[in-house]
Amino acid sequence: MIGEYNQPSSGWRLSVAPMLDWTDKHCRYFHRLLTRRARLYTEMVTTGALMHGSVRRHLRMDAQEHPVALQLGGSEPRELAVAARLGEAWGYDEINLNCGCPSERVQRGAFGACLMAEPNLVADGVKAMRDAVRIPVTVKHRIGIDRVESYDFVRDFVGCVSEAGCSVFIVHARNAWLQGLSPKENREVPPLRYELVYRLKQDFPHLTIVINGGIQTHAAIVTHLGHVDGAMLGRQAYYDPWPMTTWDADFYGEPPQPLTREAVEEAMVAYMEQEAREDGTPWYAIARHMLGLYHGQRGGRLWRQVWSDHRLKPLPPREVMRMARAALARGGVAQGINGPAGR
Ligand SMILES: Cc1cc2nc3c(=O)[nH]c(=O)nc-3n(C[C@H](O)[C@H](O)[C@H](O)COP(=O)(O)O)c2cc1C
Protein backbone atom coordinates (compact mmCIF):
# COMPACT_ATOMS: atom_id res chain seq x y z
CA MET A 1 0.00 0.00 0.00
CA ILE A 2 2.77 2.41 0.95
CA GLY A 3 4.50 2.19 -2.41
CA GLU A 4 1.49 3.58 -4.22
CA TYR A 5 1.74 6.89 -2.46
CA ASN A 6 3.89 9.81 -3.40
CA GLN A 7 7.19 9.20 -1.70
CA PRO A 8 9.20 12.29 -0.79
CA SER A 9 6.79 13.69 1.71
CA SER A 10 5.96 10.80 4.00
CA GLY A 11 6.58 13.15 6.93
CA TRP A 12 3.19 14.68 6.17
CA ARG A 13 1.32 11.54 5.15
CA LEU A 14 -1.06 11.71 8.11
CA SER A 15 -1.59 14.45 10.62
CA VAL A 16 -3.99 15.72 13.24
CA ALA A 17 -5.16 19.26 12.57
CA PRO A 18 -4.38 22.30 14.69
CA MET A 19 -7.49 22.99 16.79
CA LEU A 20 -7.80 25.90 19.17
CA ASP A 21 -8.61 24.82 22.73
CA TRP A 22 -8.38 21.18 21.65
CA THR A 23 -4.90 20.19 20.46
CA ASP A 24 -3.04 21.40 23.49
CA LYS A 25 -0.07 19.59 24.98
CA HIS A 26 -2.30 17.12 26.83
CA CYS A 27 -4.33 16.25 23.78
CA ARG A 28 -1.18 15.70 21.76
CA TYR A 29 0.22 13.42 24.47
CA PHE A 30 -2.93 11.33 24.20
CA HIS A 31 -2.85 11.19 20.41
CA ARG A 32 0.80 10.22 20.47
CA LEU A 33 -0.08 7.14 22.50
CA LEU A 34 -2.29 6.08 19.60
CA THR A 35 0.07 6.78 16.70
CA ARG A 36 3.81 7.18 16.82
CA ARG A 37 4.15 8.46 13.26
CA ALA A 38 1.33 10.89 12.50
CA ARG A 39 2.33 14.55 12.66
CA LEU A 40 0.65 16.56 15.38
CA TYR A 41 -0.09 20.27 15.35
CA THR A 42 -0.44 22.72 18.21
CA GLU A 43 -3.36 25.04 18.56
CA MET A 44 -2.73 28.32 16.79
CA VAL A 45 -0.45 30.53 18.86
CA THR A 46 -0.40 34.18 17.83
CA THR A 47 2.84 36.06 17.51
CA GLY A 48 1.33 38.60 19.94
CA ALA A 49 0.83 35.91 22.58
CA LEU A 50 4.49 34.95 22.29
CA MET A 51 5.71 38.56 22.31
CA HIS A 52 3.60 39.64 25.28
CA GLY A 53 2.47 36.47 27.07
CA SER A 54 4.07 33.50 28.76
CA VAL A 55 6.24 31.68 26.24
CA ARG A 56 6.43 28.61 28.45
CA ARG A 57 2.67 28.39 28.77
CA HIS A 58 2.24 28.47 25.01
CA LEU A 59 5.22 26.38 23.91
CA ARG A 60 5.76 23.81 26.66
CA MET A 61 5.59 20.35 25.19
CA ASP A 62 6.47 16.79 26.00
CA ALA A 63 9.52 15.04 24.57
CA GLN A 64 7.23 12.23 23.37
CA GLU A 65 5.21 14.46 21.08
CA HIS A 66 7.49 14.44 18.04
CA PRO A 67 6.91 14.96 15.20
CA VAL A 68 5.05 18.07 16.28
CA ALA A 69 4.48 21.38 14.51
CA LEU A 70 3.88 24.77 16.04
CA GLN A 71 1.13 26.69 14.27
CA LEU A 72 1.56 30.45 14.31
CA GLY A 73 -0.98 33.17 13.71
CA GLY A 74 0.41 36.48 12.55
CA SER A 75 1.42 38.45 9.51
CA GLU A 76 4.25 40.77 10.46
CA PRO A 77 7.41 39.16 9.06
CA ARG A 78 9.74 40.28 11.85
CA GLU A 79 7.38 39.04 14.55
CA LEU A 80 6.88 35.77 12.70
CA ALA A 81 10.64 35.32 12.54
CA VAL A 82 11.00 35.86 16.29
CA ALA A 83 8.11 33.49 17.02
CA ALA A 84 9.50 30.84 14.67
CA ARG A 85 12.88 31.04 16.34
CA LEU A 86 11.21 30.50 19.71
CA GLY A 87 9.38 27.50 18.30
CA GLU A 88 12.60 25.97 17.04
CA ALA A 89 14.33 26.63 20.36
CA TRP A 90 11.51 24.88 22.24
CA GLY A 91 12.02 21.81 20.04
CA TYR A 92 9.24 21.95 17.46
CA ASP A 93 9.82 20.10 14.19
CA GLU A 94 7.96 22.52 11.92
CA ILE A 95 6.53 26.01 11.91
CA ASN A 96 3.14 26.29 10.26
CA LEU A 97 1.53 29.59 9.34
CA ASN A 98 -2.24 29.88 9.69
CA CYS A 99 -3.80 31.33 6.54
CA GLY A 100 -7.13 29.58 6.98
CA CYS A 101 -8.78 30.79 10.14
CA PRO A 102 -11.81 32.99 9.41
CA SER A 103 -12.68 34.39 12.84
CA GLU A 104 -13.27 38.14 13.09
CA ARG A 105 -10.79 38.58 15.87
CA VAL A 106 -8.18 37.10 13.62
CA GLN A 107 -9.21 39.33 10.70
CA ARG A 108 -8.69 42.44 12.76
CA GLY A 109 -5.22 41.22 13.68
CA ALA A 110 -4.56 40.83 9.93
CA PHE A 111 -3.92 37.15 9.89
CA GLY A 112 -5.68 33.90 9.18
CA ALA A 113 -7.68 33.38 6.00
CA CYS A 114 -7.71 37.06 5.02
CA LEU A 115 -3.99 36.63 4.29
CA MET A 116 -4.88 34.62 1.22
CA ALA A 117 -5.68 37.97 -0.40
CA GLU A 118 -2.13 39.08 0.33
CA PRO A 119 0.14 36.36 -1.01
CA ASN A 120 3.13 38.70 -1.13
CA LEU A 121 2.82 39.42 2.58
CA VAL A 122 2.59 35.69 3.28
CA ALA A 123 5.63 35.13 1.07
CA ASP A 124 7.54 37.78 3.05
CA GLY A 125 6.53 36.11 6.30
CA VAL A 126 7.59 32.70 5.03
CA LYS A 127 10.91 34.07 3.87
CA ALA A 128 11.54 35.79 7.20
CA MET A 129 10.81 32.57 9.08
CA ARG A 130 12.91 30.46 6.74
CA ASP A 131 15.81 32.82 7.25
CA ALA A 132 15.35 32.50 11.02
CA VAL A 133 15.07 28.71 11.45
CA ARG A 134 16.35 25.43 10.00
CA ILE A 135 13.12 23.46 10.47
CA PRO A 136 10.49 23.39 7.69
CA VAL A 137 8.14 26.35 7.37
CA THR A 138 4.72 25.34 6.03
CA VAL A 139 1.39 27.05 5.34
CA LYS A 140 -2.17 25.96 6.07
CA HIS A 141 -4.82 27.69 4.01
CA ARG A 142 -8.21 27.42 2.31
CA ILE A 143 -9.07 27.05 -1.38
CA GLY A 144 -10.45 30.57 -1.47
CA ILE A 145 -12.05 33.37 0.48
CA ASP A 146 -15.58 34.71 0.32
CA ARG A 147 -17.20 33.97 -3.06
CA VAL A 148 -13.98 33.65 -5.03
CA GLU A 149 -14.57 30.23 -6.54
CA SER A 150 -11.92 30.16 -9.24
CA TYR A 151 -9.05 27.70 -9.02
CA ASP A 152 -6.65 30.40 -10.25
CA PHE A 153 -6.89 32.19 -6.91
CA VAL A 154 -5.52 29.31 -4.85
CA ARG A 155 -3.09 28.32 -7.60
CA ASP A 156 -1.60 31.81 -7.65
CA PHE A 157 -1.44 31.90 -3.85
CA VAL A 158 0.48 28.62 -3.73
CA GLY A 159 2.67 29.67 -6.63
CA CYS A 160 3.64 32.94 -4.97
CA VAL A 161 4.24 31.50 -1.50
CA SER A 162 6.21 28.54 -2.84
CA GLU A 163 8.58 30.94 -4.56
CA ALA A 164 9.47 32.20 -1.09
CA GLY A 165 10.62 28.68 -0.22
CA CYS A 166 7.54 27.05 1.29
CA SER A 167 7.27 23.53 -0.05
CA VAL A 168 4.49 22.09 2.12
CA PHE A 169 0.91 23.31 1.80
CA ILE A 170 -1.95 22.04 3.90
CA VAL A 171 -5.19 22.86 2.16
CA HIS A 172 -8.56 22.92 3.90
CA ALA A 173 -10.67 22.15 0.86
CA ARG A 174 -13.36 24.78 1.33
CA ASN A 175 -13.54 28.56 1.10
CA ALA A 176 -13.52 30.77 4.17
CA TRP A 177 -16.38 33.23 4.13
CA LEU A 178 -15.04 36.20 6.01
CA GLN A 179 -18.40 37.85 6.62
CA GLY A 180 -21.49 36.46 8.20
CA LEU A 181 -20.40 32.97 9.26
CA SER A 182 -19.06 31.91 12.63
CA PRO A 183 -15.78 29.97 12.67
CA LYS A 184 -17.80 26.82 13.32
CA GLU A 185 -20.12 27.48 10.36
CA ASN A 186 -17.03 28.18 8.28
CA ARG A 187 -15.98 24.60 8.88
CA GLU A 188 -19.32 23.26 7.72
CA VAL A 189 -21.17 25.55 5.32
CA PRO A 190 -18.81 26.38 2.43
CA PRO A 191 -18.76 23.28 0.24
CA LEU A 192 -15.80 20.92 0.16
CA ARG A 193 -14.07 20.84 -3.22
CA TYR A 194 -11.37 18.22 -3.01
CA GLU A 195 -10.73 18.29 -6.74
CA LEU A 196 -9.11 21.72 -6.43
CA VAL A 197 -6.58 20.32 -3.99
CA TYR A 198 -5.86 17.39 -6.29
CA ARG A 199 -5.31 19.88 -9.07
CA LEU A 200 -2.75 21.76 -6.98
CA LYS A 201 -0.75 18.53 -6.72
CA GLN A 202 -0.94 18.08 -10.49
CA ASP A 203 0.20 21.65 -11.15
CA PHE A 204 2.90 21.64 -8.46
CA PRO A 205 4.15 18.06 -8.40
CA HIS A 206 7.36 19.05 -6.60
CA LEU A 207 5.42 20.49 -3.63
CA THR A 208 4.02 18.49 -0.74
CA ILE A 209 0.25 18.94 -0.79
CA VAL A 210 -1.77 17.83 2.22
CA ILE A 211 -5.56 17.72 2.03
CA ASN A 212 -7.85 18.61 4.93
CA GLY A 213 -11.56 18.95 5.58
CA GLY A 214 -14.32 16.44 6.26
CA ILE A 215 -12.14 13.31 6.13
CA GLN A 216 -13.81 10.67 8.25
CA THR A 217 -12.91 7.16 7.21
CA HIS A 218 -9.95 4.95 6.48
CA ALA A 219 -11.28 4.53 2.94
CA ALA A 220 -11.42 8.29 2.45
CA ILE A 221 -7.81 8.62 3.59
CA VAL A 222 -6.75 5.94 1.11
CA THR A 223 -8.61 7.69 -1.70
CA HIS A 224 -7.02 11.06 -0.94
CA LEU A 225 -3.54 9.57 -0.69
CA GLY A 226 -3.99 8.40 -4.24
CA HIS A 227 -4.08 12.06 -5.30
CA VAL A 228 -2.03 14.06 -2.82
CA ASP A 229 0.84 13.54 -0.38
CA GLY A 230 -0.96 13.68 2.90
CA ALA A 231 -4.27 13.79 4.73
CA MET A 232 -4.96 15.88 7.81
CA LEU A 233 -7.86 14.97 10.09
CA GLY A 234 -9.37 17.30 12.65
CA ARG A 235 -12.74 16.71 14.25
CA GLN A 236 -13.02 13.03 13.35
CA ALA A 237 -9.68 12.24 14.98
CA TYR A 238 -10.69 14.16 18.09
CA TYR A 239 -14.14 12.64 18.53
CA ASP A 240 -13.20 9.09 17.57
CA PRO A 241 -9.45 8.73 18.12
CA TRP A 242 -9.11 4.94 18.26
CA PRO A 243 -8.84 4.43 14.47
CA MET A 244 -5.53 6.29 14.71
CA THR A 245 -4.09 3.12 16.23
CA THR A 246 -4.17 1.55 12.77
CA TRP A 247 -2.34 4.37 11.05
CA ASP A 248 1.28 3.38 11.75
CA ALA A 249 0.80 -0.08 10.29
CA ASP A 250 -1.55 0.86 7.46
CA PHE A 251 0.13 4.04 6.24
CA TYR A 252 3.73 3.88 7.40
CA GLY A 253 4.46 0.16 7.07
CA GLU A 254 5.24 -0.26 10.78
CA PRO A 255 4.61 -3.56 12.54
CA PRO A 256 1.19 -3.50 14.22
CA GLN A 257 1.30 -2.46 17.89
CA PRO A 258 -0.75 -4.45 20.33
CA LEU A 259 -2.59 -1.65 22.10
CA THR A 260 -5.69 -1.68 24.25
CA ARG A 261 -7.97 1.11 25.34
CA GLU A 262 -7.34 0.08 28.94
CA ALA A 263 -3.58 0.48 28.51
CA VAL A 264 -4.05 3.91 26.93
CA GLU A 265 -6.34 5.00 29.76
CA GLU A 266 -3.79 3.71 32.28
CA ALA A 267 -0.99 5.65 30.55
CA MET A 268 -3.13 8.78 30.58
CA VAL A 269 -3.76 8.43 34.30
CA ALA A 270 0.00 8.10 34.90
CA TYR A 271 0.42 11.26 32.82
CA MET A 272 -2.28 13.07 34.81
CA GLU A 273 -0.46 12.16 38.02
CA GLN A 274 2.84 13.40 36.61
CA GLU A 275 1.34 16.67 35.34
CA ALA A 276 -0.34 17.29 38.71
CA ARG A 277 3.01 16.79 40.47
CA GLU A 278 5.12 18.79 38.06
CA ASP A 279 2.76 21.54 36.96
CA GLY A 280 -0.27 21.51 39.20
CA THR A 281 -2.52 20.61 36.25
CA PRO A 282 -5.90 19.26 37.37
CA TRP A 283 -6.70 15.85 35.88
CA TYR A 284 -9.89 17.05 34.19
CA ALA A 285 -7.93 19.52 32.02
CA ILE A 286 -6.29 16.42 30.54
CA ALA A 287 -9.15 13.90 30.70
CA ARG A 288 -11.43 16.08 28.55
CA HIS A 289 -9.35 15.19 25.50
CA MET A 290 -9.70 11.44 25.87
CA LEU A 291 -13.49 11.29 26.19
CA GLY A 292 -13.75 9.73 22.73
CA LEU A 293 -11.57 6.75 23.66
CA TYR A 294 -14.51 4.35 23.93
CA HIS A 295 -16.50 5.98 21.12
CA GLY A 296 -19.02 3.47 19.77
CA GLN A 297 -18.09 0.81 22.35
CA ARG A 298 -20.49 -0.91 24.70
CA GLY A 299 -20.72 1.11 27.88
CA GLY A 300 -18.65 3.87 26.31
CA ARG A 301 -21.15 6.57 27.09
CA LEU A 302 -21.24 5.66 30.77
CA TRP A 303 -17.44 5.58 30.86
CA ARG A 304 -17.38 9.03 29.32
CA GLN A 305 -19.95 10.37 31.77
CA VAL A 306 -17.75 9.40 34.71
CA TRP A 307 -14.65 11.06 33.27
CA SER A 308 -16.63 14.26 32.61
CA ASP A 309 -18.52 14.34 35.92
CA HIS A 310 -17.74 17.66 37.62
CA ARG A 311 -18.59 16.26 41.02
CA LEU A 312 -15.60 13.95 40.81
CA LYS A 313 -13.08 16.75 40.41
CA PRO A 314 -11.75 16.47 43.98
CA LEU A 315 -10.95 12.74 43.56
CA PRO A 316 -7.57 11.45 42.37
CA PRO A 317 -7.66 10.36 38.70
CA ARG A 318 -6.89 6.74 39.55
CA GLU A 319 -10.10 6.60 41.57
CA VAL A 320 -12.02 8.18 38.71
CA MET A 321 -10.57 5.55 36.38
CA ARG A 322 -11.77 2.81 38.72
CA MET A 323 -15.27 4.26 38.67
CA ALA A 324 -15.20 4.74 34.90
CA ARG A 325 -14.20 1.12 34.39
CA ALA A 326 -16.98 -0.05 36.66
CA ALA A 327 -19.45 2.05 34.65
CA LEU A 328 -18.06 0.63 31.41
CA ALA A 329 -18.56 -2.91 32.67
CA ARG A 330 -22.11 -2.10 33.85
CA GLY A 331 -22.90 -0.50 30.51
CA GLY A 332 -21.55 -3.49 28.63
CA VAL A 333 -23.77 -5.83 30.63
CA ALA A 334 -26.81 -3.58 30.25
CA GLN A 335 -26.28 -3.41 26.53
CA GLY A 336 -25.94 -7.17 26.31
CA ILE A 337 -29.33 -7.56 27.92
CA ASN A 338 -31.26 -4.56 26.65
CA GLY A 339 -29.83 -3.82 23.25
CA PRO A 340 -27.85 -0.72 22.40
CA ALA A 341 -27.63 1.03 25.74
CA GLY A 342 -24.95 3.60 26.25
CA ARG A 343 -25.60 5.45 23.00
C1 LIG B 1 -12.38 23.41 17.70
C2 LIG B 1 -11.59 23.72 16.47
C3 LIG B 1 -10.54 24.63 16.53
C4 LIG B 1 -9.78 24.92 15.38
N5 LIG B 1 -8.69 25.73 15.49
C6 LIG B 1 -7.86 25.88 14.44
C7 LIG B 1 -6.60 26.56 14.56
O8 LIG B 1 -6.21 27.01 15.64
N9 LIG B 1 -5.83 26.68 13.43
C10 LIG B 1 -6.22 26.17 12.23
O11 LIG B 1 -5.49 26.30 11.25
N12 LIG B 1 -7.38 25.53 12.09
C13 LIG B 1 -8.18 25.35 13.16
N14 LIG B 1 -9.33 24.59 13.03
C15 LIG B 1 -9.65 24.01 11.72
C16 LIG B 1 -9.04 22.61 11.60
O17 LIG B 1 -7.64 22.66 11.66
C18 LIG B 1 -9.46 21.96 10.27
O19 LIG B 1 -8.93 22.72 9.21
C20 LIG B 1 -10.98 21.87 10.12
O21 LIG B 1 -11.59 21.42 11.32
C22 LIG B 1 -11.36 20.96 8.96
O23 LIG B 1 -10.89 19.66 9.18
P24 LIG B 1 -11.86 18.47 9.74
O25 LIG B 1 -13.07 18.47 8.89
O26 LIG B 1 -11.04 17.23 9.62
O27 LIG B 1 -12.19 18.82 11.16
C28 LIG B 1 -10.10 24.32 14.15
C29 LIG B 1 -11.16 23.39 14.10
C30 LIG B 1 -11.89 23.10 15.23
C31 LIG B 1 -13.01 22.08 15.15
Q: Tell me, what CATH number does 310's domain have?
A: 1.20.120
Burial-class residue 165 by CB neighbours within 10 Å (0-12, 13-18, 19+). middle
Atom of ligand 1 nearest to the CA of 100: 11
β-sheet bridge partners, residue 141:
99, 171
Average pLDDT over residues 208-234: 98
Q: Is residue 343 part of a domain?
A: no
Domain boundary among 252, 279, 308: 252
- Mutate which of 114, 186, 187 for ligand 1 pocket (most atoms within 8 A of beta carbon): 187
Q: What is the pLDDT of residue 340?
A: 42
Give the integer Cα–Cα distance in Å for 163 and 13: 23
Task: Please indicate, yes or no, whether residues 239 and 282 belong to a single structural domain of this protein.
Answer: no
Average pLDDT over residues 27-43: 98
In this structure, the chain runs to a length of: 343
- Residue 17 Cβ inside 6 Å of ligand 1? The answer reads yes
Q: What is the pLDDT of residue 8?
A: 41
In angstroms, how far is CA 287 from the centroid of its own chain? 18
- Residue 20 Cβ inside 6 Å of ligand 1? The answer reads yes
List the residue whose alpha carbon is closest to atom 10 of ligand 1.
Answer: 18
Average pLDDT over residues 89-117: 86
Average pLDDT over residues 311-331: 97
- Residue 97 Cβ inside 6 Å of ligand 1? The answer reads no
Q: What is the pLDDT of residue 6?
A: 41
Look up the pTM and report it: 0.94
Task: Please indicate, yes or no, whether residues 7 and 79 belong to a single structural domain of this protein.
Answer: yes
- CATH number of the domain at 87, please: 3.20.20.70
- Residue 86 Cβ inside 6 Å of ligand 1? The answer reads no
List the residue whose alpha carbon is closest to atom 26 of ligand 1.
Answer: 234
71 known member of a binding site: yes
Task: Please indicate, yes or no, whether residues 242 and 307 belong to a single structural domain of this protein.
Answer: no
Q: 170: domain range?
A: 2-252
Domain boundary among 229, 252, 275: 252
> For all residues of the chain together, what is the average pLDDT?
92
Q: Give 336 Cα–ligand 1 centroid separation in angstroms.
A: 37
207 known member of a binding site: no
Confidence of residue 3 (pLDDT cuts 50, 70, 90): very low
Confidence of residue 265 (pLDDT cuts 50, 70, 90): very high
- Residue 212 Cβ inside 6 Å of ligand 1? The answer reads yes
Q: Which residue type occupies 268?
A: M
Higher pLDDT, 38 or 331: 38
Q: What is the pLDDT of residue 331?
A: 86
| pLDDT over 60 at 341, yes or no | no
Calculate the alpha carbon distances from 341 to 239, 306, 327 in Å.
19, 16, 12
Higher pLDDT, 187 or 336: 187
Task: Please indicate, yes or no, whether residues 86 and 212 belong to a single structural domain of this protein.
Answer: yes
Helix/strand/coil for 309: coil
Percent residues over pLDDT 90 in the chain:
87
Task: Please indicate, yes or no, whether residues 127 and 69 belong to a single structural domain of this protein.
Answer: yes
The secondary structure of 247-295 as a DSSP string is HHHHHH-PPPPP--HHHHHHHHHHHHHHHHHHH---HHHHHGGGTTTTT
DSSP 8-state secondary structure symbol assigned to residue 97: E
